[in-house]
Amino acid sequence: MKFLGKIIFFPVAIAVVLFAIANRHDVGVSFWPLPFDAETPLYVALLGALALGILIGAAASSVSVGKWRLRARAGARQKGAKSAAKPNVASTAGAIIDSAPTIAHRPSTLPAIRRAALDED
């Protein structure tokens, strides 16, 4: 995954640097409802707007997914509470198997099986 990230990051970084070099002209930026104006290079204005849009989109996405995340956490808590109330099936099965009577190994009366058993020893 790190390798894929590097494959994507480096071309994007090169494109951003080339964009910044090509768009160094100053532009006026006005923050309309506020009485602020600024002169800044074009690349700063555009990349700043892009970064601000990414932040706003991430915040909106996080807020909209929040209710689903809360439901999933509540479901996980309920599931955990239900499984804690039930006995563990694996441990119950293990206890049953451990308490089962064991069958003693008796040598076979068939000659072929007896010979194979002697060969294994």
| Interatomic CA distance for residues 117 and 108, integer angstroms | 9
Average pLDDT (53-72) is 88
Model-wide pTM > 0.75:
no
Average pLDDT (6-29) is 92
| Interatomic CA distance for residues 96 and 101, integer angstroms | 10
Band of residue 77 on the pLDDT scale cut at 50, 70, 90: confident
| Interatomic CA distance for residues 78 and 92, integer angstroms | 22
Residue 74: per-residue pLDDT:
84
Count Cα atoms within 13 angstroms, Cβ side, for 34: 6
| Interatomic CA distance for residues 54 and 78, integer angstroms | 35
More confident residue, 98 or 63: 63
Given a cut of 70, whether residue 121 has pLDDT beyond it is no
Residue 110: per-residue pLDDT:
61
| Interatomic CA distance for residues 106 and 117, integer angstroms | 11
